[in-house]
Structure 1
Amino acid sequence: MVSTVFLVALGGAIGASLRYLTGVGVMRLLGPQEFPVAIITVNVVGSFLMGVFVVAAAQRGLTHFSPFVMTGLLGGFTTFSAFSLETMTLLQRGDSGHALLYVVLSVGLSVGGLALGLMAARGVFT
C-alpha cells in the first residue's frame, strides 16, 4: 500500500510539473490569452494519453502501472479543478459566451481525445 501511494505521489508530481511547463510553453508560444488555451490543451492531451494507456495496459498486461500513470501522472497533468476555476472566472468577468465555448470544447474535445487515444492504441496493440 505504501509503495502504491508513493507511485501515485511521484506520478502526480511529474504530471503537475508537466502541466506547469505546458502552461509556460503555451504562454511563450501564443503570448497572454484571454481564453484558457493551456488548460484545455492539457485536458485534451491528457485524455488522449489516458485512452492510449488504457488499451496498452490491458493488451500488454501493464495494469499494475495504473496508479502511477492514470491516478498520478495523468491525474496531476489534467486539470478539472483548474477547468472549473477558469469557467467561473470567465463567467464572473461577464464573458458567458467564452465560458460556454470553453465548457463545450473542454468536454467535447477531451472525450474526443480519449476516444482517439483508444482507437489509436487499439490499432497499435491489437
Structure 2
Amino acid sequence: MESDAYYVWREAGFTIDILRDGDIDCEEMEIGDSIITLPNGDRYSALLVTREEISRTMNRHVLSGESLGGSYYCAPDLIVIRSQGVTAMINVIRDIVESDRISSLLPRISDDGALDVPSM
C-alpha cells in the first residue's frame, strides 16, 4: 500500500510508514525513515539504513566537514540492514516486533512527538 510521501504496510502486529525516497523504486531504497505503530497505539521511530548508504553518507561528510569530516555516523533510532528495499525493511521490523524487543531497541514517540530513547 502506498501514499504520496510514504510507503505504508499494515499487518496484524504493526503498521509501518516508510518515507519514500523521491522517485526511487521502493525495492531499491537504501534508507527508510520510518514510524512503526503497534495495535495498542504505541509509536516507534526507526531509521533503516544499508551499510552501503552509511558509507556513502560518511564519504559525503568528508567533503562537507560534517560529523568531524565523516569520522562517524549516528542516529538514536538507527537499524543497519543488510539488504535494500521496503520488503527487507518490513521483514526486519516484523522480527523486532515478533521478538518483543521493540521497546528496548527503538525510541518510542511520545504524545508530544518527542523521542523517548531506551537505555541499553
Radius of gyration: which is bigger? 1
- Give the TM-score, by structure 2 length: 0.29
* Structure with greater strand share of residues: 2
* Structure with greater helix share of residues: 1
